[in-house]
Amino acid sequence: MLMAGLTACGGSDSGGDGGSDNGGQKAGGSPIQGTLAALRKASTTTEKQQSAKVDGVQKQTTPQGEMNSDLKGVMDWSEGGVTGDIEVTQSGSATKGSPMGNKPMTVRYAKDAMYVNMGDDFASTAGKGKHWIKYDYDVLAEKAGASGAFMKDQLQNNNPARSVQLLVASKQVKQVGSEQVRGKKATHYSGTLKVSELAEMQSKDLSEKDLQQLQQQLEQTGMTTEKIDLWIDDQNLLVKKRETAKSTKGQGDLDSTVYYSDYGTEVDVQDPSADDAVDFTELTGGQS
């Protein structure tokens, strides 16, 4: 979900117009108008690039403890949805005893499914000779209900520019100032959105019923708001995104940072061999 650019929403901390006085103001316009115009340009420019290299880290609290996920790879959004190859390494107390803890695994995003390479140990045991777990988006939507439908919607309709578009649509954004991102000058923008509203804003193909159920699931996690910080370079490209959210229930806090670079890089994603992939429903007995 992180690589699909998923963003939970949150309430506004930025006041009525979300404006800022430090830059972004055009002649004859308000600061917020200048900020929104700059972000619209960044969204258009980023979306046109169609691919990029990505790396980052996600930290999340779970009932089992903290889960850290380091990621690095490439992604493509030339046909609307996200395809790509990402290497993920999980660590933290939540991975204690897990055969995949501190071991890199490949997550492959295809047009209609996501694949996770679980390695040789999995193949020799639960995988019955197969290394990859396949998560078919249609089946995921059917088995996992609203959250599965939401994940399918995001993976087939999302791209890095979506986060910029969300802040523009919400108008709950301010320009923080000029900062350095990996040695390059970038403009920092920030906004805080309601989770329930954001889920609705970024759902393109979700039915009203699924959307209502998704909002109920989000409320059950105790997350009410999410803060989104974006850094745009002098080429009007998104170079860094940070999403943070805290749960009122004491678990499920999220802190995700992703860097984007080498826009326009070549991405060639091939589905794993059918002989080397097991459907997730075979491992769960048909349950979600």
Strand 254-261, strand 238-245: pairing: antiparallel
Query: Residue 285: which region, alpha, beta or left (left: phi > 0; alpha: psi -120 to 50)?
Result: left
Provide the pLDDT for residue 258. 95
CATH number of 9-284: 2.50.20.20
**Dist. CA 200–CA 270, nearest whole Å:** 32
Where is pLDDT greater, at 242 or 99? 242
Q: What's the CA gap between 60 and 63, in Å, rounded?
A: 10
152-190 pLDDT tens trace: 877 777 788 888 888 888 888 999 999 999 999 999 999
- State percent of the chain over pLDDT 90: 49
Query: Residue 203: which pLDDT band, with cuts at 50, 70 and 90?
Result: low
- pLDDT value at position 20? 37
Residue 197 has pLDDT above 80, yes or no: no
- Tell me the mean pLDDT in the region 233-249: 91
Q: How far is CA 34 from CA 126, 168, 188, 218, 243, in A?
A: 55, 11, 14, 33, 23
Q: Of all residues in the chain, what percent carry a pLDDT higher than 70?
A: 81
For residue 29, the model assigns a pLDDT of 57
Burial class of residue 265 in the structure, from the number of CB atoms within 10 Å of its CB (0-12 exposed, 13-18 middle, 19+ buried): middle
What is the rounded average pLDDT for all residues in the chain? 82
pLDDT of residue 223: 73
How far is Cα 21 from Cα 174, in angstroms, rounded to an integer?
Answer: 9
Q: What was the pLDDT predicted at 225?
A: 80
The pLDDT tens digits for 27-80 are 445 778 899 999 999 999 999 999 999 999 999 888 888 889 999 999 999 987
25 pLDDT above the threshold of 50 = no
The predicted pLDDT at position 63 comes to 80
**pLDDT at position 147:** 75
- Give the span between the Cα atoms of 121 and 126, in whole angstroms: 9
Looking at residue 19, its pLDDT comes to 37
- How far CA 146 is from CA of 151, 160, 205, 214, in Å, comes to 9, 23, 12, 5
Q: Is the pLDDT of residue 21 over 70?
A: no
Cβ contacts of 101 within 8 Å, gap of 6 or more = 90, 91, 95
- pLDDT bin (cut points 50, 70, 90) of residue 218 is low
Residue of higher predicted confidence among 105 and 141:
105
pLDDT computed for residue 239 by the predictor? 97
Structure confidence at residue 286 as a pLDDT band (50, 70, 90): low
**How many whole angstroms separate alpha carbon 160 and alpha carbon 150?**
17
Which SS3 state, helix, strand or coil, does residue 87 take?
strand
Spans of all domains in the chain: 9-284
Q: Average pLDDT for residues 1-12, to the nearest whole number? A: 32
Model confidence over 124-148: pLDDT tens digits?
999 999 999 999 999 988 887 777 7
